[in-house]
A and B are shown apart, each in its own frame.
Chain A
Amino acid sequence: MQDLSAHIMDIAQNSIRANATRVEIDVDERDTLAITIRDNGEGMNEETAKRVTDPFFTSRATRRVGLGIPLLVQNAEATGGSVTIRSSPGQGTTVVALFTRSHLDCPPAGDIPGTIVLLAAANPGVEVRYRHATGKGEYSFNSTEAREFLGEVPLDDPEIVAALREMIAENIKEIQTQ
Chain B
Amino acid sequence: MEKIKTLADLKRIKENVQAKIELRERSERPGELVQVKVAMATCGIAAGSKETMNYFIDHLDKNGIRAVVTQTGCMGYCYAEPTVEISKPGKEPIVFGGVTPARAEEIIQRYLKNDELVEGIIPVNYRSV
Q: Which residues of A contact B17 (CB under 8 A)?
A: 153, 157, 159-160
Q: Give the nearest-CB partner of B58 in chain A.
A: A158
> In the complex, what's the smallest C-beta–C-beta distance from B108 to chain A, in angstroms?
13
Q: Give the nearest-CB partner of B41 in chain A.
A: A13
Grouping DSSP codes into helix (H, G, I), strand (E, B) and loop, the A interface class, with mixed when no group exceeds half, is helix
Interface contact A153-B74, CB-CB below 8 Å: no
Known A-B contacts A71-B42, A156-B57; the reply to A146 vs B50 at CB < 8 A is no
List B residues at the A interface (Cβ < 8 Å).
Answer: 3-7, 9-10, 13-14, 16-18, 20-21, 40-43, 45-46, 50, 53-54, 57-58, 60-61, 68-71, 73-76, 78, 126
Interface contact B21-A17, CB-CB below 8 Å: no
* Interface residue ranges of A4-58 to B (CB < 8 Å): 5-6, 9-10, 13, 16-17
Stretch from A60-68, A78-86, A87-95 contacting the other chain: A60-68
Q: Which residues of A contact B16 (CB under 8 A)?
A: 159
Interface contact B73-A156, CB-CB below 8 Å: no
Grouping DSSP codes into helix (H, G, I), strand (E, B) and loop, the B interface class, with mixed when no group exceeds half, is helix
Interface contact A171-B45, CB-CB below 8 Å: no
List A residues at the B interface (Cβ < 8 Å).
Answer: 1-2, 5-6, 9-10, 13, 16-17, 60, 62-63, 66-68, 71, 111, 114-115, 118, 121-123, 145-146, 149-153, 156-164, 166-167, 170-171
Interface contact A166-B69, CB-CB below 8 Å: no
Q: Which residues of B contact A5 (CB under 8 A)?
A: 50
What is the CA–CA distance of A166 and B2 in the complex, to the nearest angstrom? 11
Q: Which residues of A contact B9 (CB under 8 A)?
A: 167
Interface contact A150-B14, CB-CB below 8 Å: yes
Q: List 24 A-B contacts (CB under 8 A).
A: A1-B46, A2-B46, A5-B50, A6-B50, A10-B41, A13-B45, A13-B73, A16-B71, A63-B74, A114-B50, A118-B71, A122-B53, A145-B7, A146-B7, A149-B10, A150-B14, A158-B61, A159-B13, A164-B10, A166-B3, A166-B4, A167-B4, A167-B6, A167-B7
Query: A-B pairs with the 4 shortest C-beta distances?
Result: A62-B76, A122-B71, A158-B61, A68-B42
What is the CA–CA distance of A145 and B70 in the complex, to the nearest angstrom? 21
Q: Which residues of A contact B21 (CB under 8 A)?
A: 152-153, 157
Q: Which residues of A contact B57 (CB under 8 A)?
A: 121, 156, 158, 161
> In the complex, what's the smallest C-beta–C-beta distance from A168 to chain B, in angstroms?
9
What is the CA–CA distance of A157 and B46 in the complex, to the nearest angstrom? 25
Q: Which residues of A contact B68 (CB under 8 A)?
A: 156
Interface contact A62-B7, CB-CB below 8 Å: no
What is the CA–CA distance of A122 and B119 in the complex, to the nearest angstrom? 27
